[in-house]
Amino acid sequence: MFTSQYLELFLTLETHPDRTLINAMIESPVPESELSLSPHAQVQTGDGSTLNVRAAGITGLGFYVPERVLTNDDLQRLGVDTNDEWIRSRTGIRERHIAADTETTADLAENAARRALEDAGLTPASIDLIIVATCTPDYQFPSTASLLQNRLGASCAAFDLGAACSGWVYGLVVAQQFVATGAAKTVLVVGAEAMSRILDWNDRSTAVLFGDGAGAAVVQAVQSGYGVLGFDLGSDGSGGELLKVVIDGEPASSGLVFPPADGHAAGAPPAEAPADQSTLDGASAGAVSTTPSLAPRRKIYQNGREVYRFAVNVMGESALRALTNCGVDPHNVNLFVPHQANVRIIDAAAKRLGLTSDRVFVNVDKYGNTSAASVAIALCEARDQGRIRAGDVIVTVGFGAGLTWASAVLRWGGQKSNAQ
């Protein structure tokens, strides 16, 4: 759990702009014969003192997508002004998975989380912290992470993280910080989205892009030289209007009607007029009434041209900064696992990194853009397909609303140590 003895170390790590404390753990991986050694690494701080930090990496992965599949042809049959050729030529997407009417974001998260825990050989009792990255929570509060914690039967801290499509990589870095400082031994990081719940199916500029799903990872201490080697996080709030979820419904107020001092609600029907039940329910002295017709509906809005321009630039640049932060040359990257939003954006980022197609993982054709779940799903599927081997250098990168971006460089493997 999180105790005060780790606070000074945690703050030191968090405030080091040159990442020296974390990046010092990226020396050559230890030989297989020495994997019983402690995962701690001694790092010299700016004032000359020495601290012990832990290498932190992924020890379990899992993902889940709903059974229902919606193809491009299905969208056209449903009346969306589009067709398969138009969508594939612009995005690379063939189909996406859509949650059932009774399936929630917490449902998706739970399925992915249980698979990740099983993959790591752990039970929920081992979890110290749950982070759920999502922009489609089931409720404004409680958090989806708290719902997940209860469903799993875990006894731990839990919170949601909101960085849209960058969210899971943000969560991975946060988890790494907790494990590196010793504040937590096991962190469950989940990206879960029911994007279909916020789509305007009449808007082909967004309706064709997104899908539902969840991906999860278990983060624990690994051997020095493995795990998260470096990262790059950023945000530019000046672009917030370019990609957002708006409230459909007027007025944009709460819809509450407050009685004035004389006790009669402004806009209420005159005393002699018949009142409907909703008016009567809220007309008691000092009460407020609601207008059901004003109930808002969430809807995603995107300035596609500007977001595309931002993404093409930031994906490659953020990945390069993360590589520079940990001293890894792009030529040594074994696999690039980017946010799956658009195949043309992925191609542009890979070109910026000088990577050939055999070193880039793409599954946007099957799932569309699953927002915060995207990178975790891709990483798990890449591993399951044998595209990732022990010792490989992996680069993940995401971009999303905010506008935000996040990259992480990992060396795969470095089995867990009992010295956690």
Catalytic residues: 165, 339, 369
Distance CA 310, CA 290 (A): 41
For 400, the 3-state DSSP assignment is strand
Alpha carbon distance 330, 321 (integer Å): 11
* Structural contact between residues 67 and 236, judged by C-beta atoms closer than 8 angstroms: no
The secondary structure element, H or E, covering residue 233 is: strand 227-235
Sign for the pseudo-dihedral over CA of 203, 208, 209, 213: positive
Q: Which residues lie below 8 Å from residue 20, measured CB to CB, with a gap of 6+?
A: 43, 45, 46
Stated length of the chain:
420
Q: Is the peptide bond before 296 cis (omega within 30 degrees of 0)?
A: no
Q: Which two tokens stand for residue 289?
A: 């009434």
Query: What 3-state DSSP class applies to 344?
Result: helix
3-state class (DSSP) for residue 154 = coil
User: Which pair of tokens denotes residue 185?
Assistant: 């031994």
Exposure string (b/e) for 78-108, b if CB count within 10 Å is 16 or more? eebebebeebeebbbbbbbbbbeeebbbbbb
Residue 233: closest CA among 321, 306, 160? 321
The span from the CA of 311 to the CA of 314, in Å, is: 5
Nearest-5° Cα angle at 283, 279 to 289? 65
CA-CA distance, 403 to 138, in Å (whole number)?
23
